[in-house]
Amino acid sequence: MFSIAALDDVYLDFPSPQLALEHPNGLLAVGGDLSPVRLVEAYRQGIFPWFGDDEPIMWWSPNPRALITPESLHISKSMRRFMKNTPYTTTWNRDFRGVIESCAAPRTESPGTWITDDMKSAYIQLYDLGIAHSIEVWNSKDQLVAGLYGISLGSFFFGESMFSREPNTSKLALITLIQDLSPHGLSFLDCQMMTKHLKSLGAFECNRDHFLQYLSQLTMTTTDLEVSNDLLQQEAIVRHSVLNIYLEEQKNKHVQGKPCT
């Protein structure tokens, strides 16, 4: 009988992804917070948050993992024709907030959303740090009609969510991202879980052990999508100070709770 770890708001350690449950696939831990330093630590270990409004923060590392590379990308003939004559334009990081708000909006097939207000705030913080990025698709009226967002670490881009309001535009956003991986020094797009849509674009499944091996090697490199880690290091120092204060407070409570002798 396996159990999942309960994280607190102070310690950043995650259990090994190999301890994730098989059912539901990949559930590893609950609790903790969505601070930038914890999120970066999670992604470096192949872990990501996914939960609903009425649920605790849940952390996942599914097996297998869905990946796409520039080499595996498949573009159908009809999509090539669409891209050749498209009236749409694509941009990087022009409207991150607009993209994440659109991804979070209820959809016809899914009236609920897992992108809670806390999740939006967390990824906007990562965007402000230069770690999260978005791709936008604009129509001829300069209206945002599709997009996606995710985070970049080393040679990996970790896709989080996408949306579209007009046919083929989400595919256009995804293809733009994949085609831009190599010029930005990236090698893999992590799609987390396989879908029929992703498979049609060339996604393939990777055993979690192999995925984690790639991750350990390729998140240590630097790409031109990344900024320096100074801000994250500063936050880690602050978090360490908070931990010391917390431990001191607990110690004082323990001392004050002792009976007089």
Q: Is pLDDT above 70 for 206?
A: yes
pLDDT of residue 248: 59
| Residue 112: pLDDT over 90 | no
pLDDT tens digit string along 168-197?
999 999 999 999 999 988 999 999 999 999
Average pLDDT score over residue span 112-140: 93
- CA 123 distance to own-chain centroid: 8
Helix axes 117-128, 96-104, angle to 10 degrees: 160
- Summarize pLDDT for 91-107 with one digit per residue, the tens: 999 999 999 999 999 87
The span from the CA of 96 to the CA of 92, in Å, is: 9
Please give the Cα distance from 140 to 170 (Å, whole number).
Answer: 16
Please indicate, yes or no, if residue 188 is contained in any of the structural domains. yes
Q: What is the pTM of this model?
A: 0.84
Q: Which domain holds residue 146?
A: 66-207
Q: To the nearest whole number, what is the mean pLDDT of the chain?
A: 87
At residue 75, the pLDDT reads 98
Contact at 8 Å (CB) between 21 and 28? yes
* Domain annotation covers residue 94: yes
106 in any annotated domain: yes
What pLDDT shows up at residue 144?
Answer: 98
% of the chain at pLDDT higher than 90: 72
pLDDT at 110: 61
Residue 33, domain member (yes or no): no
More confident residue, 50 or 224: 50
Instruction: Confirm whether 75 is domain-assigned.
Output: yes
Evaluate whether residue 230 is within a structural domain.
no
* pLDDT more than 70, % of the chain: 81
pLDDT of 60-75, one tens digit each?
A: 999 999 999 999 999 9
Please check whether residue 72 lies inside any domain of the structure: yes
Residue 25 domain-assigned (yes or no): no
Residue 122 has pLDDT above 80, yes or no: yes
Is residue 233's pLDDT more than 70?
no
Domain count, the chain: 1
CATH of the domain at 107: 3.40.630.70
